[in-house]
Amino acid sequence: MSCRFESDVLRAAQEDQWSDSVRRHLHECDDCVAAAAVAPWMSRFAKIGDREHPLPDPQIVWLKAKVLQGTVDAARVSRPMTVVQLVSYLVVAGGWAAVLTWKWDAVAAWLRGFTPTGLVQNVVSGESLSMSFFALVFILASMTVMLAMHTILAEE
Amino acid sequence: MFAAALNLSAPLMAEAQTRTGNPRPMDEGRFEAFYRRNAGSLWSYLFRMTGHEAVADDLLQKTFFRFLRANPVLASEEHQRRWLFRTATNLAMDHFRETKRERAVELGDLPESGASMEPREVLRHDMMKTFAELKPRERALLWLAHVEEADHEDIGEALGVKTHSVKVLLFRARKRLGELLTKKGLAPEVRR
């Protein structure tokens, strides 16, 4: 209460029964005047019937809350997995970018070599990409396929 | 009454009880009884705040969902009730922010009261329309102070404002409602 007389003032305003002491108090307290001015209206406003249909059923609210809780729990449990998945995307994408940048000249030359002349020259010169490079590509390709499969299966 | 719910003579002690007590987790039966005791007044508050039955239903359910999810370990039902009103107020304010509607019931939403309405309906309609002209925070202040008879500390907690600001805000809200009532010829004469 903003004023110790406020409850008396509110009661007087609602019942429209003003004692001398309350009336005297109104001369010196703007807070109570403002409270008294709206109290009867607020009291009537609170009493008007406002529900034309019943409240939501408590059993339904309970069930919905449990379902929502289940969804929240599932999201919480799967959060670490989602993080791991995101990190895997970044690692694979970064791996491909690094490998291709590191060996781009050799890869471009290797691709250009897929012509009759190029194949002969490669055989004669014995130039080619190293086995370790192909092993790296194989590992990255396997990871990409596994990640794609995991994503598809997880979504399903 | 909310007044009793909000009136904490020793909040710190109550908080201590909150943490050290051994309250039972709420099962379905207890929840149903708790809901039946508190949902009506909470719904009335939300309906007066938003002006829409469907929105009030929605916010009421969200409030209880949060209550069940948070499972607040509180010393008494009064504290739980206070928790409900605070959460409901936050949800209502979020609703206003999300929908960008400062006034829950835009004046255009409410048709003019017509001859087809019963007198009780006209009264209800006109009162809702008057209340809707206030800002959401003013509506919350007036409802909590006059209907729930909450004290300033608890109103401040529910609205996220300092206790000493509530006095000023409540005074302004009352003045504003008083002006509206005077404009509409509904204000009682306060004899000084």
This complex has an ipTM of: 0.75
Residue A53 lies in a domain: no
Owning domain of residue B123 = 2-6+27-183
In 3D, which of B154, B55, B37 has the Cα closest to residue B99?
A: B55
Q: Report the CATH number that the domain containing residue B160 is assigned in CATH.
A: 1.20.140.160
Residue A27 lies in a domain: yes
When the pLDDT of each residue in chain B is averaged and rounded to a whole number, the result is: 79
Strands (E), A94-142: none
Inter-chain contact B127–A38, Cβ cutoff 8 Å?
no
Q: Is B70 helix (H, G, I), strand (E, B) or coil?
A: helix
Name the residue range of residue A24's domain.
6-47
Same-domain pairing of A36 and A72: no
Tokens coding B127: 């009162």
Q: Which of B151, B148, B153, B140 lies closest to B12, judged by CA?
A: B153
Residues A36 and A81 in one domain: no
Using the predicted structure, report yes or no on whether residue B33 has a pLDDT greater than 60: yes
Q: Count structural domains, chain A.
A: 2
On the CB side of B98, how many CA atoms lie within 13 Å of its CA? 8
Shared domain for A11 and A63, answered yes or no, is no
Compute the half-sphere exposure of residue A117: CA atoms within 13 Å on the CB side of its CA: 2
Q: B148 to each of A45, B1, B54, how far by Cα in Å?
A: 13, 6, 22
CB contact under 8 A, B191 and A48: no
Same domain for A73 and A11? no
The model's pTM is 0.69
Return the sign of the alpha-carbon dihedral for residues B131, B134, B140, B146.
Answer: negative
Q: For residue B73, is it within any domain? A: yes
The phi and psi torsions of B134 (rounded to 5 degrees) equal -85, 160
pLDDT value, residue B2: 47
Cα A107 from Cα A119, distance rounded (Å): 14
The number of folded domains in chain B is 1
Tell me if A73 is assigned to some domain: yes
Judge: A58–B39 Cβ closer than 8 Å, yes or no: yes
The percent of residues above 70 in pLDDT, for chain A, comes to 87
**Is position B18 within any domain?**
no
pLDDT at B100 > cutoff 60:
yes
pLDDT winner (highest mean) among A107-121, B5-19, B134-148: B134-148
Q: Is residue B16 situated within a structural domain?
A: no
Residue A52 lies in a domain: no
- Residue B111: is its pLDDT beyond 60? no
* The pLDDT value given to residue B17: 40
Query: Is B22 inside a domain boundary?
Result: no
Quick one: closest CA in B to A44, which residue? B127
Q: What is the pLDDT of residue B37?
A: 93
The answer for A 78-137 residues in CB contact with B (under 8 A) is: none
Mean pLDDT of B11-23: 41
Within-domain flag for B42: yes
Share of chain B above pLDDT 70, in %: 72
Higher confidence at residue B64 or residue B17?
A: B64
Residue A1 included in any domain: no
